[in-house]
Amino acid sequence: MSKRMRKVVFPVAGLGTRFLPATKVVAKEMLPVLDRPLIQYAVDEAVDAGADTLVFVTNRYKHAIADYFDKAYELESKLAQSGKNDLLAMVQGTLPKHVRCVFVTQPEALGLGHAVLCAKPVVGDEPFGVVLPDDLIWNGRGAGALRQMSDLSVRENGAGVIAVEEVAREQTDKYGIVDASPLSERAAKINLVVEKPKPDVAPSNLAIVGRYVLPGRIFELLETTKPGAGGEIQLTDAIEALLAERSVLAYRFEGTRFDCGNKLGLVKATLAMALEDPALVEPTKGFIRELCD
Ligand code: G1P
């Protein structure tokens, strides 16, 4: 039986320019979908997948994520004193007790592959997950996407597993694109991955979305990965190198992805979550009807 992933890396050093001016002071991962920041959804999914070590790859200016998961002594004692136990539980519940956070900095923004490589000293040579918090993947009460992927990786002797979703042809140059041979309803064996190909040369319209389960070996491959698309060190290029050594699977997860790296995605996620909230579902539907009339 191959080893289960226990560590998950969150590359969170990005500037979030699509949400300026808010992101002048608010880290994009702290933008809320209803009352929870994007990073909370990402962390919940990692914990659901069995992670006990969360590695945040951040930059020297971003302290909000560390603050958010830290103990808030003053707030907690005020809530306790005033008997606001529900709120206290909410504030204390951002992270289960058995989970630890490790923060590493990415000194320069050299690309996603470089960001992941910064986590090497913490992860070492074991399977690990990567979650890009911009991609909020929601599967209601069912298993989160990363848990589905980690289960598959264990069943397939530690194979790398990458989440994919079909996108419109004209969007291929925004994603890593895979060419894969189907193995089952949701899984396929990747033959080729290419970062942000133009629609006319893209091998398919099957795009990588922000979830990966990877072997520790990827770090060594990243160390020798040259800058690729956009002049950045791309995780996709290291995965392409990994394909020469072992099989990597593309996985169509169960759940809905909201691309919260752009405004429309954040609006959609907010509406979808409001429609799942018993207190908000009816007023939200009413408001949407009103807007559409
Ligand atoms: C990154 C990856 C890309 C992937 C995408 C998913 O790109 O490099 O392969 O498809 O995330 O969100 P970015 O969006 O950081 O440019």
Distance 209 CA to ligand 1 centre (A): 7
- Does residue 176 line the site of ligand 1, with CB under 6 A? yes
Structure confidence at residue 125 (pLDDT): 95
- Does residue 132 line the site of ligand 1, with CB under 6 A? yes
Mean pLDDT along residues 60-74: 91
Give, using CA atoms, the residue closest to atom 6 of ligand 1: 209
Report the atom number in ligand 1 closest to the C-alpha of 234.
8
Distance 78 CA to ligand 1 centre (A): 42
Summarize pLDDT for 84-137 with one digit per residue, the tens: 999 999 999 999 999 999 999 999 999 999 999 999 999 999 999 999 999 999
The 3-class secondary structure across the chain, one letter per residue, is CCCCCCEEEEECCCCCHHHCCHHHCCCHHHCEECCEEHHHHHHHHHHHCCCCEEEEEECCCCCHHHHHHCCCHHHHHHHHHCCCHHHHHHHHCCCCCCCEEEEEECCCCCCHHHHHHCCHHHHCCCCEEEECCCEEEECCCCCCHHHHHHHHHHHCCCCEEEEEEECCHHHHHHCEEEEEEECCCCEEEEEEEEECCCCCCCCCCEEEEEEEEECCHHHHHHHCCCCCHHHCCCHHHHHHHHHCCCCEEEECCCCEEEECCCHHHHHHHHHHHHHHCCCCHHHHHHHHHHHHC
- Does residue 236 line the site of ligand 1, with CB under 6 A? yes
- Does residue 133 line the site of ligand 1, with CB under 6 A? no
Distance 140 CA to ligand 1 centre (A): 24
Residue 1 has pLDDT above 80, yes or no: no
Give, using CA atoms, the residue closest to atom 15 of ligand 1: 112
Distance 84 CA to ligand 1 centre (A): 41
Cβ 119 vs Cβ 104: under 8 Å: yes
Structure confidence at residue 155 (pLDDT): 95
Kindly indicate the confidence band of residue 153, based on its pLDDT and cuts at 50, 70 and 90. very high
Summarize pLDDT for 162-182 with one digit per residue, the tens: 999 999 999 999 999 999 999
Distance 175 CA to ligand 1 centre (A): 5
Provide the β-strand partners of residue 9.
55, 130
* Percentage of the chain lying above the pLDDT 90 cut: 94
Summarize pLDDT for 27-65 with one digit per residue, the tens: 999 999 999 999 999 999 999 999 999 999 999 888 899
Mean pLDDT along residues 202-224: 97
Of the candidates 154, 218, 213, the residue with the CA atom closest to the CA atom of residue 3:
154
CATH of 7-261, one of 3.90.1150.10, 2.40.10.10, 3.90.550.10, 3.40.50.2300: 3.90.550.10
Distance 111 CA to ligand 1 centre (A): 10
Residue 199 has pLDDT above 70, yes or no: yes
* pTM greater than 0.85 (yes/no): yes
Distance 277 CA to ligand 1 centre (A): 30
Residue 75 has pLDDT above 80, yes or no: yes
- Does residue 135 line the site of ligand 1, with CB under 6 A? yes
